[in-house]
Amino acid sequence: MNRLSGVGELPSTCDLAIVGAGPAGLAAAAAAAERGLEVLLLDENPAPGGQIYRGLADSPAARRELLGKDYQRGDALLSGVQASRISWLPGASVWMASSDLEIGVSKDAVSHIFSARHILLATGALERPFPIPGWTLPGVMTAGAAQGLLKSSGLVPEGRFVLAGTGPLLWLLAYQLIAAKAPPLAILDTTLPTMRAGVMAALPSFLGSPYLLKGLRLMRKVRSEMRVIGGVSELRAVGEGRLRGVAYRTRSGQAETIDVDGLFLHQGVAPNINMANAAGCDMRWDEVQLCWKPVTDDWGRSSVPGISVAGDGAGISGAEAAACLGRLCGLDAATRLGRITETEREKLAAPTRDLLSRYARGRRFLDLMFQPPATFRRADAETIVCRCEEVTGGQIAQTVADMGAIGPNQLKSYLRCGMGPCQGRLCGLTVTEMIAVARGVPPAEVGHYRLRFPIKPVTLAEIASLPHDEGDVRAVVRE
């Protein structure tokens, strides 16, 4: 890869611009570059790999070992792009990817706009909001944050801390922290009983999943090394200005408190759709994964011509499937730009499609098994939902009931909900579901925030410094 040092080195145009250098972005870049496309890879992080392979290229041997084989599997993706003529701009914040295929990107306080013939959004996932009382206290973080610190800096939590919530990542993190000799005091498990309708029906397909044995082995190891408290409800982070403890109710109804200075929350991941949403890509509500995802076809094409979406940003499917989807998008871009025929595309894609169906097997079981309980997907009256603007569950419920707000966009007007710097990333799903419940309609009918560029904060000075022509000046200057 050709590493660019600043936006000044960006071309004015390219064949394929990829936003995100995780598994989907890397696999797409390799596939497209191999077919002769000029590929530009833009990523916010200092090194490629996304969250899943964060820090992999520079990871010391001992850390690679404790993070496990699935982490090391990213080596193949990283080496797949090493030799190719991909231009890569790390530390770059993409703030626009428009429907007329223009990209706005900022690095080191300088912005640049260029046009692409095709755009792939590989923006990955973010952790589902977990709006419990006290979740804004310093000391409360996500499980992904703890794992990211371990991957990129070899930092592990110290002192008294617990993990809480549900989902595969919580167990994986516990396992890795055991290996790092920094185990949590306990896992407060909020997973609903496995033996419930729907979940067991999806089990047979999971029996053929590559994740089955791995998952069982991992959970057994974790259970043998630490306290796992099941059936947890009424989870609360407690403290004044700083986390001091975690309170919860056990399965039998007993109220308990543990003194902690660290609490790592997790209840699954959801697609990071801000860029696709602002680009105008059609979205649909996924009833099983309980999140929005862009509508895409078999090749990852969105409803906006020239914009594709791959990886977890298109729907949660895991790192291996993300790489498969990325490769399909890379091949498809080569077809769309006339480098290979549709027949060649089909032929090249066949082995990838086989692999993809292997990793898709049993996904539904995982999604249902670890579906976060409804009580943790909504906030009670006093609990903050929108962390940036400090809007509570009670304010949202009241605004829907008394003011007749029908969707998230009205809440912006009434409450500034979702209008802070995170632009709804940490409240959007909660808000949609809470409005749906209050109105008695499905989330699909409520919709998501209408997002607009710039989707990352850019200073006015940066925008003003962009090259402009006479028409631009006439549009804003009064004669």
Partner 1 sequence: MFRRLPDARSGLVSLTIDGAACVGRRGDSVAALLLETGHAACRKSAVSGEPRGPYCMMGVCFECLVEIDGVANRQACLVQIAEGMKVTTGTGRREVTP
- As a whole number of angstroms, the longest Cα–Cα distance in the chain is 76
Q: How many residues are given for the chain?
A: 479
Tell me: does residue 142 bind partner 1 (CB under 8 A): yes
Interacting span for partner 1 (CB under 8 A) from 187-195, 239-247, 340-348, 365-373: 239-247
Exposure of 120 by Cβ count < 10 A (0-12 exposed, 13-18 middle, 19+ buried)?
buried
Query: Smaller CB distance to partner 1: residue 14 or 263?
Result: 263
Q: Rule CB under 8 A: choose which of 25, 133, 157, 408 binds partner 1.
A: 157
Residue 29, SS3? helix
Q: Which helix (H) or strand (E) holds 395?
A: helix 393-403
Q: Rule CB under 8 A: choose which of 68, 154, 245, 306 binds partner 1.
A: 154
Tell me: does residue 461 bind partner 1 (CB under 8 A): no
Cα 449 from chain centroid? 17
Tell me: does residue 139 bind partner 1 (CB under 8 A): yes
CA distance 68 to 76: 15
Asked if residue 307 lies in contact with residue 285, where contact means CB atoms within 8 angstroms, the answer is no
Q: Rule CB under 8 A: choose which of 421, 442, 445, 466 binds partner 1.
A: 421
Q: What strands, in cross-sheet order, belong to the sheet with 255-259?
A: 233-238, 245-249, 255-259
Query: Smaller CB distance to partner 1: residue 243 or 369?
Result: 243
Q: Rule CB under 8 A: choose which of 283, 389, 411, 430 binds partner 1.
A: 389
φ, ψ of residue 358 to 5 degrees: the values are -65, -45
CB of 451 to partner 1, least distance (A): 13
Tell me: does residue 72 bind partner 1 (CB under 8 A): no
CB of 175 to partner 1, least distance (A): 16
CB of 294 to partner 1, least distance (A): 17
Asked if residue 341 lies in contact with residue 297, where contact means CB atoms within 8 angstroms, the answer is no
**Per-residue interface string for the shown chain with partner 1, residues 33-62, x marking contact by CB under 8 A:** -----------xxx----x---x--x-xxx
Full 3-state SS string of 345-392:
HHHHHHHHHHHHHHHHCCHHHHHHHCCCCHHHHCCCCCCEEECCCCEE
Tell me: does residue 313 bind partner 1 (CB under 8 A): no
The site that binds partner 1 (CB under 8 A) totals a number of residues, namely 52
CA distance 29 to 87: 10
Q: Which helix (H) or strand (E) holds 93?
A: strand 93-97
Tell me: does residue 295 bind partner 1 (CB under 8 A): no
Q: Which two tokens stand for residue 156?
A: 């592990």
Asked if residue 326 lies in contact with residue 122, where contact means CB atoms within 8 angstroms, the answer is yes
**Per-residue interface string for the shown chain with partner 1, residues 209-238, x marking contact by CB under 8 A:** ------------------------------
CB of 62 to partner 1, least distance (A): 4
CA distance 38 to 354: 28
Asked if residue 142 lies in contact with residue 167, where contact means CB atoms within 8 angstroms, the answer is no
Tell me: does residue 245 bind partner 1 (CB under 8 A): no
From the list 317, 268, 10, 271, the residue with the least C-alpha distance to 121 is 271
Query: Smaller CB distance to partner 1: residue 394 or 420?
Result: 420
CB of 301 to partner 1, least distance (A): 25
Q: Rule CB under 8 A: choose which of 20, 48, 49, 144 binds partner 1.
A: 144
Tell me: does residue 280 bind partner 1 (CB under 8 A): no
Tell me: does residue 382 bind partner 1 (CB under 8 A): no
Tell me: does residue 25 bind partner 1 (CB under 8 A): no
Q: Which residues in this chain contact partner 1 in the complex, by CB under 8 A?
A: 44-46, 51, 55, 58, 60-63, 91, 93, 109, 126-127, 136, 138-142, 144-145, 148-150, 152-159, 180, 182, 241-243, 261-262, 272, 387-390, 420-422, 425-426, 457
